[in-house]
Structure 1
Amino acid sequence: MTSENGAHFAFTDRWGGVSAVPYEELNLGGAVGDDPDAVRANRERAARALGLEPGLVVWMNQVHGTEVAEVEGPWTTRLTPEVDGLVTARRGLALAVLTADCVPVLLADPVAKVVAAAHAGRPGMVAGIVPAAVDAMKSLGADPARIVARTGPAVCGRCYEVPDTMRAEVAAVEPAAYAETSWGTPAVDVAAGVHAQLERLGVRDRARSPVCTRESHDHFSYRRDRTTGRLAGYVWLD
């Protein structure tokens, strides 16, 4: 966990939970086939380890789109909205994003007291989830020049192999995402694309996790394991 003037950022690894193989241990994803009781227990453990009240953590039903929901409190219905971004100005309310290779994007303007979380996979990065999240923050008074951005563990460009036509399509939208695998084939670097977009949006205070999920066995990776758990990124205000 890291903190910046009352804004807090945290990313999980796969350890310290109760889920069994192949979701061991700290699977936080509720739609991957794991025992729902185990997921609930894991979410409670993760929240309390961060000093959060589990009932004040807000989750998304992520669909690789660009919709961002403004959050004023926990969801009051059993249906979690299909969005890939959350934004709030409510202190003490944590926004969570699930990943297992995609880029978890956490954003905060500590002065305006606005935070956002976004799920940036390849489709979402290309479609514009990052600009959408920043726009949602601006609507609540945030200034990109003050926004602090942290991206968590994700598959790196050396490991995210794609067909050459797909790399060309992605690079046509975001040239910074053009990459090559360590074995010399076409690839996409989603995190590089995310940070290039943030740079153009005026977000200067940025940090990228050095962890590649496909390479790290301390993290879940869909590309490596297919049936596996999900990591989480959390952002909140004091």
Structure 2
Amino acid sequence: MVFTTRAGGVSDAPYDSFNLGDHVGDDPGAVAANRARLAGALGIAPPRLVWMEQVHSRNVTVVDGPVGGAVEVTDALVTSEPDLALVVLTADCVPVLLADDEAGVIAAVHAGRIGARIGIVPRAIEAMAGLGARPERIGALLGPAACGGCYEVPPHMQADVEEHLPGSACRTRKATTGLDIRAGIARQLGAAGVESVVVDPRCTIEDATLFSHRRGAPTGRLAGVVWRPSTGGASAGGSTTGGRS
């Protein structure tokens, strides 16, 4: 499992430099070059990187091979196919990477405030179970995202999200109403039977090495990538640009 940072790409400001999002206004040639660099760093053929057209939905798509272009209108990808890398793009939302090594089933989930609230993560786990995964064997890695200390929202929004995603309500460092979406997802995963949950503590708003829509839009997108090599399994852990975990 891998999460990228801003470093190591060819995009110009404000997308500098390793922007992997093709929908944010960056030069398409730069995005293509960055995606090729990602594939090369992972040792995966570029067509075997599977991208999503993310729309903050509850839609989950099971894929069994390379896809020509982004999978349309979906916020989670699931596969049991080895050497097929699933990619989620974020810039404050929570990237969730899931793997059941014994079953050989993996998933990449885009879980922002809306998607987490309406249950995209449990839907992805259900889809994984349909391919033979078991919740108690799934390892989950929650990537860099807006932290609760920075993610300020109006009281009515906090109450609404907390009702649907218990554990997400918090106070910001300004002592205002906030949301810690990763905390809510971690609790949601536990309720679904997932026992191994690792949280990358980095805040996209605070950490200038990461893209953040809230800190400054327009901006680029980070990638979270999960894949199952044909000779081994995927496992939860930390990550760096172009690195493995």
**TMscore range, shorter length:** over 0.9
2:218 paired residue number: 227
Amino acid at match of 1:203: V
What's the CA shift for 1:221? 0.2
Secondary structure, counterpart of 1:223 in structure 2: coil
SS in 1 for 2:127: helix
Aligned counterpart for 1:183 among listed residues 164, 169, 174 = 174
5+ residue gaps, structure 2, are: 230-245
Q: Distance in 1 between matches of 2:221 and 2:70?
A: 19
Matches within 5 A, 1:112-127: 112-127=103-118
Structure 1 residues 97-112: aligned runs within 5 Å: 97-112=88-103
TM-score normalised to structure 1 length: 0.95
Identity of aligned residues (%): 52
Aligned to 2:35: 43
3-state SS of 1:104 partner: strand
TM-score using structure 2 length: 0.92
Q: Deviations for 1:168-226, whole angstroms, at most 9, x for unmatched residues?
A: 10111122000111011110111111111100011111100010000000000000001
**Counterpart amino acid of residue 214 in structure 2:** R
Aligned equivalents of 1:66, 1:175: Cα separation in 2: 18
* Within-5 A mapping of 1:1-238: 9-76=1-68, 78=69, 80-238=71-229
3-state SS of paired residue (1:176): coil
Aligned length: 229
Instruction: Report what 1:3 is aligned to.
Output: none
Query: CA separation of 1:133/1:102 partners in 2, compared to 1, >3 Å: closer, same or farther?
Result: same
Cα deviations across residues 110-161 of structure 1 (Å, max 9, x unaligned)? 0000000000000000000000000000000000010010011000000010
Aligned to 1:4: none
Q: Which amino acid aligns with 2:41?
A: A
Task: Report the Cα distance in structure 2 between the residues aligned to 1:116 and 1:80, rounded to whole angstroms.
Answer: 14
SS of equivalent residue, structure 1 residue 150: strand
Aligned equivalents of 2:43, 2:149: Cα separation in 1: 35
Give 1:53 deviation, angstroms. Answer: 1.5
In 1, Cα distance between the equivalents of 2:157 and 2:174? 18
Please list the CA deviations of residues 58-89 of structure 1 after superposition, one character each: whole Å capped at 9, or x if unmatched: 0000000010001011224x463110000000
**Cα distance change on mapping 1:79 and 1:224 into 2, 3 Å:** closer
Helix, strand or coil: the match of 1:224? coil
Q: CA deviation at 1:39?
A: 0.3
Cα distance in 1 for partners of 2:16, 2:147 equals 22
Please, what is the CA RMSD of the aligned residues?
Answer: 0.8
Letter in 2 for 1:134: I
Q: Which consecutive segments of 4 or more residues in structure 1 shift more than 4 A? A: none
CA distance in 1, matches of 2:70, 2:113: 25
CA distance in structure 2 between the partners assigned to 1:145 and 1:157 by the alignment? 27
Structure 2 residue identity aligned to 1:164:
P
Name the CA distance, whole Å, in 2 between partners of 1:196 and 1:79.
30
